[in-house]
């Protein structure tokens, strides 16, 4: 116990950016290794359903959501986190931006053969297609956040917005339950947690094929735990009286843009938790690929393949920033806060994915 307290004291003695950055690198590396070894892929899970009627990888994604919800809400209930400080629980419900951004992202991830996280895994495995997609996603995300495309994003946010101030205060399911049912804050949060997480667990484990697929079960549990660990890192390990780390979990679009900026302006930039998770993802998948003997340099099959991936990267970068996240950023991290916007963005991403498959099946960009 004394050694543990000494280690904790040493960690808390470091600057916030150092301790959260180191934790981000470790969490990212673990996530990269898990996704590589288990072949976890959100776009791939939709492809399995579309092509083969196989729901196992999709259930792994849902299990990650349920695990993240339970662990994150437990930390919130015990007072370790204040999720109201996250980007997901604002007082404005920009429903149209969630729908449009999610649809655009979903179509883009199909064209780019995977979401942002999956393409980072490909980079670690030596796939140059993944590298090009990651660069395009990062540049487009930054353009949508602060550059050329930003005015369009702001306009889309402003034309269709619901003020949640009088409807519970924010966009969380628990806030709405509190406002409409009179439940106390803690009871409303527990109720909202169970309303979302329990049906997800039932959906996963009532299926025999999933129950007998340890690889997918491990993937779902591990990714959910790592998302909760990310919340703990920025909310607890990143706590500081004067310069606390922004409350953040795992997201792999805007942090990619920040990572590119960091690489270009290293002497005048500071690292962050999001940036180190991106580098960690590449490192973890690289080590996993090496150990499995699967590291291979690869490239585009032809010009159409290149064009399709470029278009997909642009759509993912713009869509994810508009909808505040990707399949991990909204689909697991955002969902874990009980945010209604995350649920809406997730449904739009899934719908966009199936639209993308239908477009490719009809020969678009092939």
Q: Supply the DSSP string of 212-237, one letter for each residue.
A: T-HHHHHHHHHHHHHHHHHHHIIIII
**Radius of gyration of the CA atoms of the chain, in A:** 20
Provide the residue ranges of all domains of the chain, joining segments of one domain with +: 14-361
Q: Which of 55, 329, 342, 349 lies closest to 203 in space, CA to CA?
A: 55
Sequential pLDDT tens for the chain (366 residues): 555 566 666 666 778 888 999 999 999 999 999 999 999 999 999 999 999 999 999 999 999 999 999 999 999 999 999 998 999 998 888 999 999 999 999 999 999 999 999 999 999 999 999 999 999 999 999 999 989 999 999 999 889 888 887 776 788 888 888 878 878 778 888 999 999 999 999 999 999 999 999 999 999 999 999 999 999 999 999 887 777 888 999 998 889 999 999 998 877 678 899 999 999 999 999 999 999 999 999 889 899 999 999 999 999 999 999 999 899 999 999 999 999 999 999 999 999 999 999 999 988 766
Residue 94 to residue 363: CA distance in whole angstroms: 34
- Angstrom distance (rounded) from CA 120 to CA 257: 13
What residue ranges in 112-230 does DSSP mark as E strands?
162-163
User: 172: helix, coil or strand?
Assistant: strand
Q: Could you tell me which of 356, 316, 280, 304 has the C-alpha nearest to residue 123?
A: 280
**Verdict on whether the full-model pTM lies above 0.85:** yes
DSSP state of 163: E
SS3 content of the chain, % helix, strand, coil (to 5): 75, 0, 25
Rounded Cα distance, 259 and 228, in Å = 22
Nearest partner of 64 among 349, 327, 253, judged by Cα = 327
Q: Which helix (H) or strand (E) holds 92?
A: strand 92-93
Quote the DSSP letter at residue 84.
Answer: G
| Cα 238 from Cα 222, distance rounded (Å) | 22
CB within 8 A of 226, min separation 6: which ones? 27, 30, 31, 34, 250
């Amino acid at each position: 116990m004394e050694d543990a307290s000494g280690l904790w004291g040493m960690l808390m003695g470091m600057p916030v950016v150092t301790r959260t950055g180191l934790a981000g690198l470790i969490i990212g590396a673990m996530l990269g290794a898990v996704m590589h070894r288990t072949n976890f892929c959100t776009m791939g899970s939709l492809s399995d359903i579309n092509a083969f009627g196989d729901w196992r990888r999709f259930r792994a994604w849902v299990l990650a959501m349920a695990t993240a919800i339970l662990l994150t809400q437990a930390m919130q209930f015990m007072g370790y986190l204040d999720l109201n400080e996250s980007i997901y629980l604002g007082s404005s419900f920009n429903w149209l931006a969630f729908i449009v951004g999610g649809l655009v992202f979903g179509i883009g991830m199909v064209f780019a053969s995977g979401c942002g996280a999956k393409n980072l895994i490909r980079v670690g495995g030596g796939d140059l297609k993944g590298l090009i997609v990651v660069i395009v996603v990062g540049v487009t995300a930054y353009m949508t956040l602060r550059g050329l495309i930003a005015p369009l994003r702001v306009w889309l946010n402003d034309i269709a917005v619901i003020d949640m101030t009088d409807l519970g205060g924010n966009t969380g399911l628990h806030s709405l339950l509190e406002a409409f049912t009179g439940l106390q804050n803690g009871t409303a949060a527990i109720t909202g947690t169970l309303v979302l997480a329990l049906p997800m667990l039932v959906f996963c484990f009532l299926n025999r094929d999933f129950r007998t697929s340890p690889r997918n079960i491990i993937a779902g549990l591990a990714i959910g735990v790592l998302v909760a660990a990310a919340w703990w890192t920025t909310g607890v390990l990143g706590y500081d009286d004067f310069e606390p780390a922004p409350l953040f979990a795992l997201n792999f679009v805007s942090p990619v843009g920040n990572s590119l900026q960091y690489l270009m302006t290293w002497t005048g930039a500071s690292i962050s938790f999001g940036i180190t998770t991106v580098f960690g993802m590449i490192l973890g998948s690289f080590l996993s690929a090496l150990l499995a003997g699967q590291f291979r340099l690869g490239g585009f099959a032809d010009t159409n393949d290149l064009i399709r991936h470029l278009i997909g990267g642009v759509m993912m970068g713009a869509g994810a920033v508009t909808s505040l996240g990707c399949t991990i950023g909204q689909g697991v991290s955002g969902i874990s806060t009980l945010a209604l916007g995350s649920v809406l963005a997730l449904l739009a991403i899934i719908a966009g994915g199936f639209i993308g498959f239908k477009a490719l099946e009809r020969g678009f960009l092939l």
